[in-house]
Amino acid sequence: MEELWVILDTNFLMIPEIHGVDIFSEIDRVIDKKYELIVPVVVIEELKHLKREGTSIERKAAQIGLELAKKAKRIESKKTADEEIIRLAKKKKSVVGTNDKKLKKRLEEMGISVIYLRQKSHLDISRMV
């Protein structure tokens, strides 16, 4: 059986620091099959930028996000984060972790499931894979 990719967006990796939600145990809760965590390199670059240039909250959350990203497989990217996430999600059976409303809507229109923060307390999935 093909392993599912869970592609993580920048804002998703910042959830633990900003909202106190353990994204990894929550992903395990909402996905009941084997998966591999994926982080496009462009997401790592966005986190590094926020760590340097963001507000104090963003800097701290980006630092935590960079640590969390080490648990995922990095994939080289050439486009913007949103375009890269869409490209990867279309390439292989995937679910995307994001809180970006526009990206979530685009992905759902393509039939791609999205894991997102709900009520600032837990993760939910837009439709089961």
pLDDT along the chain (129 residues), means of 10: 89 97 96 94 97 96 97 93 95 94 95 95 83
* Non-local CB neighbours of 3 within 8 Å, separated by 6+ positions: 34, 35, 36
The predicted structure's pLDDT at residue 108: 94
- Alpha-carbon span 38 to 88, nearest angstrom: 9
Facing residues of 40 across strands? 75
The predicted structure's pLDDT at residue 128: 58
Per the structure, the complete domain to which residue 121 belongs is given by 4-125
Residue 104's domain is classified under what CATH number? 3.40.50.1010
The predicted structure's pLDDT at residue 59: 97
In DSSP notation, the chain reads -PPEEEEEPHHHHTHHHHH---HHHHHHHH--S-EEEEEEHHHHHHHHHHHHHS-HHHHHHHHHHHHHHTTSEEE---S-HHHHHHHHHHHSSEEEE---HHHHHHHHHTT-EEEEEETTTEEEESS--
The predicted structure's pLDDT at residue 3: 85
Q: For residues 63 and 107, is the Cβ–Cβ distance under 8 A? A: no
Q: Structure pTM? A: 0.94
| Amino acid identity, position 75 | I
Domain count, the chain: 1
The predicted structure's pLDDT at residue 37: 97
The predicted structure's pLDDT at residue 89: 95
